[in-house]
């Protein structure tokens, strides 16, 4: 099914299917999967280029990625299934078997899976965990920022009505699901937020004061933005009356922000103490040197008088 889309007054016709492979009755390859793959590849390229700067061996990083990736996909699917509220007809449906394909993945589930799988593999391959998380955090934002355009191709991840005559988007799918009117293009908001965050976190990684700073900054940046955007969305995963991603985002943002403040505060205090200590040592050394110089000046006349007395005695 093709979608007739209008976004900010621009008219488009989108086909979620990129092409069909001649396998069986035809195997559709969707733009969603292609765009997700592009985001993943861009994140991997960034990690490959940046890893040496953070003291991470590229070969060991590859081992971590090979394990973390399938774990991330499984967790993304599990997260969606758990909170979607719809029961699966069979175990095979979880893996998209039976011709329908996988019809639900959740970013947070993928991030959680990638972290869990990555940490376990980092311990095995002796990769510094906090440096790895700092590197992965920028990669997450790159992948998420690009991957959100897959939602656009599927006409999903949109919000409530904007109330505007031009700001927002609509399509025949959105009208059938939600009604007439322009809705918030939440996919676009999150894409811009993530890609901007990738740049900000990259700059932070160049001047980080401790390992793990970028990872905590990721939780603050993405958590804050996602929490705000989640309030606009109409297709959120729910736990009771609450939006799961809003709760998780807000919690991650607050906890990470507090940790950053505490750690940076302690490091600042330590640095000031070291500065004061250095100043004290320098001042003490100066006073000792001055006292020694004064003592030498006092002893000089006595020594001179003793030398003169000794010379007279010899005469």
Q: What is the pLDDT of residues 45-101, one digit of tens each?
A: 999 999 999 999 999 999 999 999 999 999 998 898 888 766 666 555 666 655 555
177 falls within a domain: yes
Q: How far apart are CA 212 and CA 252, in angstroms?
A: 14
Domain count, the chain: 1
Average pLDDT, the chain: 88
153 within 8 A of 33, measured Cβ to Cβ: no
Residues 6+ apart with CB under 8 A from 223: 248, 249, 250, 251, 252, 253, 254, 256
172 falls within a domain: yes
Expressed as residue numbers, the domain containing 217 is: 3-269
292 falls within a domain: no
304 falls within a domain: no
Strand partners, 21: 27
CA atoms within 13 A on the CB side of 140: 29
275 falls within a domain: no
Residues 6+ apart with CB under 8 A from 257: 220
Q: What is the pLDDT of residues 102-138, one digit of tens each?
A: 667 889 999 999 999 999 999 999 999 999 999 999 9
Q: What is the pTM of this model?
A: 0.84
> Residue 202 CB: number of other CB atoms within 10 A?
16
288 falls within a domain: no
282 falls within a domain: no
CA atoms within 13 A on the CB side of 236: 24
Give the pLDDT means over successive 10-residue stretches in the chain (315 positions). Answer: 96 96 88 96 97 96 96 91 71 58 80 96 96 98 97 96 96 96 98 98 96 98 97 91 94 98 89 57 61 66 58 57
């Amino acid at each position: 099914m093709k979608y007739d889309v209008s976004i900010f007054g621009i008219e488009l016709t989108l086909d979620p299917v990129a092409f069909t492979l001649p396998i069986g009755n035809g195997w559709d390859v969707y733009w969603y999967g292609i765009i997700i793959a592009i985001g993943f590849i861009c994140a991997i390229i960034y990690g490959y280029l940046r890893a040496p700067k953070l003291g991470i061996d590229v070969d060991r990083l590859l081992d971590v990625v090979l394990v973390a990736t399938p774990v991330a996909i499984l967790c993304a699917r599990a997260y969606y299934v758990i909170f979607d509220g719809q029961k699966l007809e069979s175990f095979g449906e979880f893996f998209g078997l039976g011709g329908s394909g996988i019809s639900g993945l959740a970013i947070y589930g993928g991030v959680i899976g990638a972290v869990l799988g990555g940490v376990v593999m980092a311990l095995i391959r002796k990769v510094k965990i906090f440096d790895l998380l700092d590197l992965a955090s920028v990669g997450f934002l790159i992948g998420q920022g690009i991957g959100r355009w897959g939602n656009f191709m599927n006409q999903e991840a949109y919000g409530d009505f904007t109330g505007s005559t031009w700001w927002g988007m609509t399509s025949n799918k959105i009208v059938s699901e939600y009604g007439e009117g322009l809705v918030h293009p939440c996919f676009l908001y999150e894409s811009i937020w993530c890609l901007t965050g990738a740049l900000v976190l990259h700059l932070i990684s160049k001047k980080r004061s401790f390992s793990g700073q970028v990872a905590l900054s990721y939780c603050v940046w993405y958590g804050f933005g996602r929490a705000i955007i989640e309030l606009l969305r109409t297709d959120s995963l729910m736990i009771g009356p609450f939006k799961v991603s809003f709760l998780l985002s807000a919690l991650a943002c607050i906890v990470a922000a507090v940790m950053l403040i505490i750690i940076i505060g302690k490091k600042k205090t330590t640095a000031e103490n070291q500065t004061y200590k250095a100043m004290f040592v320098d001042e003490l050394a100066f006073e000792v040197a001055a006292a020694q110089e004064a003592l030498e000046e006092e002893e000089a006349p006595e020594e001179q008088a003793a030398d003169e007395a000794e010379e007279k005695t010899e005469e």
